[in-house]
Amino acid sequence: MIALPEVRGKLLRNEPLAPYTWFRVGGAAEALFIPADAEDLADFLKTLDSAVPVTVLGVGSNVIVRDGGVEGVVIRLAGRPWAQITTDGDAVTAGAGALDSMVAKASAKAGIAGLEFYAGIPGTIGGALTMNAGCYGSETKDVLVSAWGLTRAGERVDYALADFGYTYRHSRAPADIIWIEATYRGTTDEPEAVAARISEITGRRETTQPIREKTGGSTFKNPEGHSSWKLVDEAGWRGKLHAENGGGAMFSELHSNFMINPGEATAADIEGLGEAVRADVLAKTGVQLEWEIKRIGRAG
């Protein structure tokens, strides 16, 4: 059993992680830590044995937690201290635990345009910073000014936009940084006009994505010159149940780059489907699909 420091937040041992993910699958965390605030998290990281693995889990919207669970400590930035959103002029500052959609709505209320696309991303600001999240022609890099976070050793680091070295769904920032807060800059506009564009995005998402299913969002990144959904669709995987392990997962009938858990699929079922589709698309087209969904933990 790993030795854990004293904390002010919530620290749970052998905590099942399935309820924290949109797929509703996966094993337990050896320890789950929900810090009270940034100081609590920094103190924890400074004291925790450096050999103990640390994994950050947001709202679990774009992740598969494998059935064997996650070794070490899983950190979840959840609750009001982590979700604060403030505006000042054309600037928006948001905590890493703030939902992307709430940042879009707060921006609209303040008459700040440019962050509307966040209404179409089912995650948190921490995840958006990590992967340069985007949709509908806009990305995090288009509006981000700066962000700060904590290293694995609990030391503060500050990053300007240029320091991220953003490319498509990728950042060159060290993967072990735990982001705490980000500042964005948009442009001024009428709140009603910004809200109308957000309504258009959310309406489009409602009709084209299986957001009420147990899903993980976009499964694969778009290969250069291709759309992942078209490759999956043309390979014949839309709506096809894959049940090698007796459970079953499938790519949605509504959007063929969205995997869903239609019932009692395991993490192995879901990841196995993704790998089967990657192999099939490669064999049929010569195009290698790259995972966008993050997969963490040990196989069951």
3-state secondary structure 70-84: EEEEEECCCCHHHCC
Dist. CA 42–CA 290, nearest whole Å:
33
- At residue 14, the 3 state secondary structure works out as strand
Residues near 206 by beta carbon (within 8 Å), at least 6 away in sequence: none
Tokens of 188: 């001024």
Quick check: 90 and 167 in contact, CB under 8 A?
Answer: no
**Helical axes 100-109 vs 191-208, angle rounded to 10°:** 150
- The beta strand positions in 78-161, using DSSP E, are 85-88, 91-95, 112-113, 134-135, 138-139, 144-150, 156-160
| Residue 109: C-alpha distances to residues 105, 118, 213, 296 (Å) | 6, 14, 29, 36
Q: Mark whether 169 is an active-site residue.
A: yes
Residue 135's identity, in one-letter code, is C
Tokens of 102: 């709430």
- At residue 36, the 3 state secondary structure works out as coil
Q: Mark whether 292 is an active-site residue.
A: yes
Of the residues 24, 152, 169, 197, which is catalytic?
Answer: 169
Handedness of CA 282, 284, 286, 291 (dihedral sign): negative
Of the residues 107, 218, 252, 256, which is catalytic?
Answer: 218
Residues near 192 by beta carbon (within 8 Å), at least 6 away in sequence: none
Q: Mark whether 252 is an active-site residue.
A: no
Residues near 111 by beta carbon (within 8 Å), at least 6 away in sequence: 188, 189, 190, 191, 194
Tokens of 231: 């490759």
Active-site residue set: 169, 218, 292
